[in-house]
Structures are given as structure tokens and as C-alpha cells.
Amino acid sequence: MNFHRKTVTQKLTIAFSVLIAILIGVSILSLRSLSVAQDEFQNLVNNEFHRGNLARDVQEAANARAIAARNLILLASPDDIQAETIAVKAAHERVQERMALLKRALADSKVAQAAERDLFQKLDSIEGRYGPVALDIVALALAGKKDDATTKMNAECQPLLKQLIGTTAQYTQFITTSGEQEIRSAADRYQTKRLTLIASAIAAILAAIGLATLINRSLMRSLGADPVQLSAAARRVASGDLGPVPGSTAAPANSVLASLGEMQTALADIVGRVRLSATAIESGSHEIATGNTDLSHRTEQQARSLQQSAASMEEMTATVQQNSDTAQQASQLASAARAAAEHGGTVVSQVVTTMNDITTSSRRIGDIISVIDGIAFQTNILALNAAVEAARAGEQGRGFAVVAGEVRTLAQRSAQAAKEIKSLIEASVHKVETGSTLVNTAGSAMTEIVGEVKRVADLIGEISAATREQSTGIGHIGSAVAQLDQSTQQNAALVEQMASAASTLNQQAHGLVESVAVFRVGNGAGARRHSGGALLGA
């Protein structure tokens, strides 16, 4: 990562970020040191000093308990004995309470040394033996056995009390020595952290100085010159002096001063070309104005022609629309004829079906008449047989013969009637079959007529649709012609505007020529002189 290639914003951001990071680091280190010192001080005060105070309380309570026990042996007044009894019990309870607190403090401590724990175990062991002895002495004294109490005190209590006091003193001295060592260690750590903070502050100051120097050099390299010189060069260019920028050729590449030199060269070239272009624009704009005037006249003529074409298209559109309406009416009439023909075809089909049913019924009647004729023939034969039998019977069968004769006569008449009906039915069936054939022929013809009517209706529908499409197309053409007419009129207006704009452009080009004349680039024609590849103004 090349620091010199960074932008000014990036350089300042990096520099201040580094300074802020150093400041944050020093602050964190300071806060951490203060926190550690605070923890050490809290441990010293709340743990070690607290345990030392508890040990001293144990020693004082043990002495008070021993003194109260001795007083019980020496005193004779009941009131004094009661007071000392209360005192010895209170001292004993205080010893036990302080020993319990000291034991709990050691158990909760994470930094207590093994030697301290050993001393406490020794102290606890001595108190475990001395406490009951002291209470026994009190009990003997209260019971009036003062000699036994004195003997027990001298033989057992005094040695244990001496050990208890000595061990308590050792424990207290150990706590004091340990606290003093901790204080000296804290002072040493304070000096170390103080030196560390001083070194960090010095490093931060040196880093700030280094970054300031680096940024100053980098900015000067990026600018190429002092900002006052750059401002003077920019004011020269702003005043129209496009001569060479002093020192730009020797400035570092990509610096502001070198860029100003390149800008001066480019501006001198541009201004020279703008002068030539402005003159050409002035001449060309005059020609454009003349051409736009001619174009305006031709556009107006074209607009009038398009108006006439639009009127003709409107008349044609009206005619085609009328044809479309007529074709639509013809299509509706053809649809009605088609519906009537289809209805007639349906009726003829029904007539054909009815005629077929009549033919079937007539044939059925003929069959029935044939059955009746057969019955009459058989009845006639039976009547004849009956007459023969009656003749054989003689006088007894005369009445039966008369009846048989009448039956035969009826049978013959029935047979004759059946024959006549059969003849009539056959004639009727023949006529019905002939009529059915004619009806079928008429039905076929009607079907063909319906088909032709459908085709005619379809053709008329297609003609109507084509006419509508033609009307729509002509309408679109009319709309297009109208739009073209409108566009032509707009073009005519635009041409007039262009003519006005060309005139304005001519005036502005003349003004541009006069404005560019303010710049000093060597000669009036804007010629370029090259020296070492750079354009130099006079």
C-alpha cells in the first residue's frame, strides 16, 4: 500500500485513525492499570487487613476471657462473680465468632498463602483445646472449687493461653508483613505501569510527529507547490492569461501544480480551436438560417397538400363506412334467411318422419285386415260345416242350419268388406309411399337449400367483415394522414423556430468570437507552438 498514492482525505483519515487508535490504546492501558491497582487495593483492605483485624479481635477476646476466668477465682462478691461470669461468656462467644469469621474469610480468599492457612490451622487447634479448659475453670470457680480452678489454670490454662497469644501474634505479624510486601509490590507495579504509560505517551507523540511530517511531505508532493502559489496560478488562468504556469514542468507528476500546467496547455489549445470553430459556426449559422427559410416555405406547401389529402381520405372513409353498413344489413338479412331455411328444413324433416310413421301404420292396418279376412274365411268354412251337420241332423238341425246360413252370409260379407278395405289400404299405402318419396326428395332439396343459404350468409359475413376491416384500415390511414398533417404543421413551426434559433446562433457565435478574444494564447489566430511536447502561450 503506497501512502503517497492516497487522496488527501484518505491520508488525513489514516493519520487521525492511527492517532485515535494510539489514544484509545493508551486510555485502555491506563484504565486497565487503574482497575488492577484498585483490585489489589481492595484485596489488601477487604481481605488481608480484614483477616488481621479478626486475628487481633481473637487475641483481645482470648485475653478478656482469661482475665474474667482469673477474676472469678479471686473475687468473692456474688455481684462481681455474676458480672465476671457474663464477661467470660461474652468473651468466649466473641472468640468463637471471630474464629468462624476468620475461617470463612480464609476459605473465600483466592490469594491467601499456605503459610497463613497453616498458622490459622494451628490457632484453631489451640483454641479447640484452650476453650474447653477455660470453661472448665469458670465452672470450678462458680462451684466454689477455687483451689482446683487455680491448679487447672496454672497447669493447663496458662500454657495454652500463652500458645494462643503467641500464635495469634504470629498470625497478625504474618498478615502485617504480607500487607507490607503487597504494598511494596503495588508500588513497584505502579512504577512499572507509570513508565509504560510515559513510554506509550512518548510513542504516541512521536507517531503524531511522524505522521504530521509524512502528511506534510505527501501533501506538498501532491500539491507540487505552496497553496499560495497554486492560488496565484489559478487566478492568472481565471483572468485569461493562458501563459505557462511557473514551475509546472519541474513539479512532480500528478501533482496539482503539474495538473495546472497541463490544464493551461489544454486550455490554450482549446481556446485556439474554439476561436477557429466560432468563426466557422458564425459562417455556418448564416447558411443554416438561409436554408431554414427555404425549408420553411417548402414545409408550408407540403402541409397544404397534406390537408387536401386528409380531406380526400375523410370522404373515402365515409364511403367505405356506408358500404360497411350496407354489408352489415345484408349480412343480417342473410342470417335471417338462413334461420328461416334451417327452420323449413326442420319442418320437412318432421313431415318425413310423420309420413314414415303413417306408412308403417297403414302397413300394420293391412296386416290386421289380412287377419280379419282369414278369420272370415275360416268362419265361412265353419258355417259350411255347420250347415252340412245340420242337414245330416234333419228336422232337429233346421234351426241350427238357419243360424249357420246367417253366419256364413256374415262371414262372406266380412270377407268382402275386408277385401275392399285391404284394396283401399293398399292404394293408400302406395300413395303414402309415393308422398313419402316426394317428401324425402323435398327434404334433400331443402337441406341443399339450407347449405347454400349458409354459404351465402357466410360469404356475406366475410364481405361485411372485410368491409369493416377496410373501413378500419382506411380510418387508420386517415388518422395517420391527420397525424402526418399535424406533424408537418409542427415541423413547419419547428422550422420557423430553427430559423429563429439559427439567427440567434449566429449572434451568439459572433459573441463567442468576441469572448474568446479575451484569452491570451500567443497570437490572434490561436496558433499553437510546441516546445518539448507542451503547448506554450505567448
Q: Are residues 293 and 205 in the same domain?
A: no
Are 242 and 528 spatial neighbours (Cβ–Cβ below 8 Å)? Answer: no
Cβ burial, residue 238 (10 Å; 0-12/13-18/19+): exposed
Q: Are residues 202 and 286 in the same domain?
A: no
- C-alpha grid cell, residue 60: 483481645
Last residue of a domain, one of 203, 223, 243: 223
Range of the domain at 454: 276-531
In one-letter notation, the amino acid at residue 359 is T
- Three-state DSSP string of 466-515: HHHHHHHHHHHHHHHHHHHHHHHHHHHHHHHHHHHHHHHHHHHHHHHHHH
Number of domains in the chain: 2
Q: Are residues 331 and 197 in the same domain?
A: no
What single DSSP character describes residue 448? H
- In a domain? residue 228: no
- In a domain? residue 251: no
Instruction: CATH number of the domain at 484, please.
Output: 1.10.287.950
Q: Are residues 116 and 199 in the same domain?
A: yes
Q: Are residues 199 and 313 in the same domain?
A: no
Tens-digit pLDDT string for the chain (538 aa): 565 666 767 767 887 787 788 878 777 877 676 566 555 555 555 567 788 888 888 889 888 888 888 888 888 788 888 898 899 899 899 999 999 988 888 887 776 788 888 888 998 888 889 889 888 888 888 888 888 888 988 888 889 889 988 888 888 888 888 778 878 887 888 888 888 888 888 988 888 888 778 777 776 666 666 677 677 767 777 777 766 767 666 667 666 766 767 776 777 778 777 777 777 877 777 777 677 777 777 777 777 777 777 777 777 778 877 877 877 787 788 778 778 777 877 876 787 788 778 778 877 887 888 888 788 788 888 877 887 887 887 777 778 778 878 887 887 888 788 788 878 878 877 887 787 788 778 778 778 877 887 787 788 778 778 777 877 877 787 787 678 777 777 877 777 777 777 778 777 877 777 776 666 665 443 434 333 333 333 3
Q: Are residues 293 and 417 in the same domain?
A: yes
- In a domain? residue 537: no
Residue 394 — left, alpha, or beta (φ > 0 → left; ψ -120 to 50 → alpha)? Answer: left
Are 344 and 443 spatial neighbours (Cβ–Cβ below 8 Å)? Answer: no
- In a domain? residue 105: yes
- In a domain? residue 161: yes
Q: Are residues 505 and 432 in the same domain?
A: yes
| CA 112/CA 185 separation, integer angstroms | 16
Are 163 and 129 spatial neighbours (Cβ–Cβ below 8 Å)? Answer: no
Among candidates 301, 316, 325, 319, which has minimal Cα distance to 478? 316
Q: Are residues 283 and 137 in the same domain?
A: no
Instruction: CATH number of the domain at 94, please.
Output: 1.20.120.1730
Helix-, strand-, coil-residue percentages of the chain, each rounded to 5:
90, 0, 10
Q: Are residues 218 and 297 in the same domain?
A: no
Provide the 10 A C-beta neighbour count for residue 92.
Answer: 20
